[in-house]
């Protein structure tokens, strides 16, 4: 809820910043959760449906738009211990993956209605287990290709695929600590890895302002 609240506050403040036109783009799609290999075992986040919303300020300069995006996936994570680490146990737990990103959308081909574009953003990814374990925040970037089609001056549709990259993923010992009898901090020791995620999504575009 706090993530949605931040986006709503940003939307309210945009007119005060002298921006006369914005686009609101709710979306839904499918996310690939990715996997991480540690010394002690493998952590796999299951693929699942995702949803989100973008606030887009179109045509800032040279065919470039500014985008603030929030995307969320609710899924399940599974840790599978390697045979050489008997102190670690296999563990399953529910998790949500949240991306909050600020970036640009660059028009690739100029057209009044159909607009192919590339996107780049940076921000944070929040991995939130659905229990008493603390959230883990990681710096992340996304790279995407998509297309927007305006049906009218006010309403359109948009589709996009993205590569989503949290930069460093370490110190998540609490994730595998559920029911492991005191070994909850183990995975944070000398275990740093990257995780590669991605998604395909689409939705509507509502253009507001002059």
Residue pLDDT, tens place only, 20-64: 688 999 999 999 999 888 778 888 999 999 999 999 998 777 889
Instruction: Residue 30: give the domain boundaries.
Output: 2-209
The model carries a pTM of 0.81
**CATH number, domain with residue 53:** 2.40.160.20
Number of domains in the chain: 1
Read off the pLDDT of residues 73-98 as tens digits, 9 standing for 90 and up.
Answer: 999 998 888 888 777 778 888 999 99
3-state helix, strand, coil in the chain (%, to 5): 10, 60, 30
């Amino acid at each position: 809820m706090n993530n949605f609240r931040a986006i709503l506050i940003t939307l309210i403040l945009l007119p005060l910043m002298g921006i006369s036109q914005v686009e609101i783009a709710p979306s839904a799609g499918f996310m690939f959760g990715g996997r991480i290999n540690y010394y002690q075992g493998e952590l796999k986040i299951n693929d699942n449906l995702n949803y989100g919303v973008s606030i887009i300020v179109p045509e800032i300069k040279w065919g470039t738009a500014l985008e603030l995006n929030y995307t969320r996936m609710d899924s399940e994570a599974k840790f599978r211990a390697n045979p050489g680490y008997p102190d670690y146990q296999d563990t399953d737990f529910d998790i949500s993956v949240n991306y909050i990103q600020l970036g640009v959308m660059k028009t690739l081909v100029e057209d009044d209605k159909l607009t192919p574009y590339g996107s780049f953003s940076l921000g944070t990814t929040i991995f939130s287990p659905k229990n008493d374990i603390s959230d883990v925040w990681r710096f992340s970037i996304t790279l995407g290709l998509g297309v927007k089609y305006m049906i009218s001056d006010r309403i359109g549709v948009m589709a996009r695929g993205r590569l989503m990259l949290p930069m460093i993923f370490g110190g998540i010992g609490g994730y595998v600590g559920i029911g492991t009898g005191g070994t909850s901090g183990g995975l944070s020791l000398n275990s740093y890895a990257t995780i590669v995620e991605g998604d395909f999504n689409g939705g509507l575009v509502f253009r507001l302002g002059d």
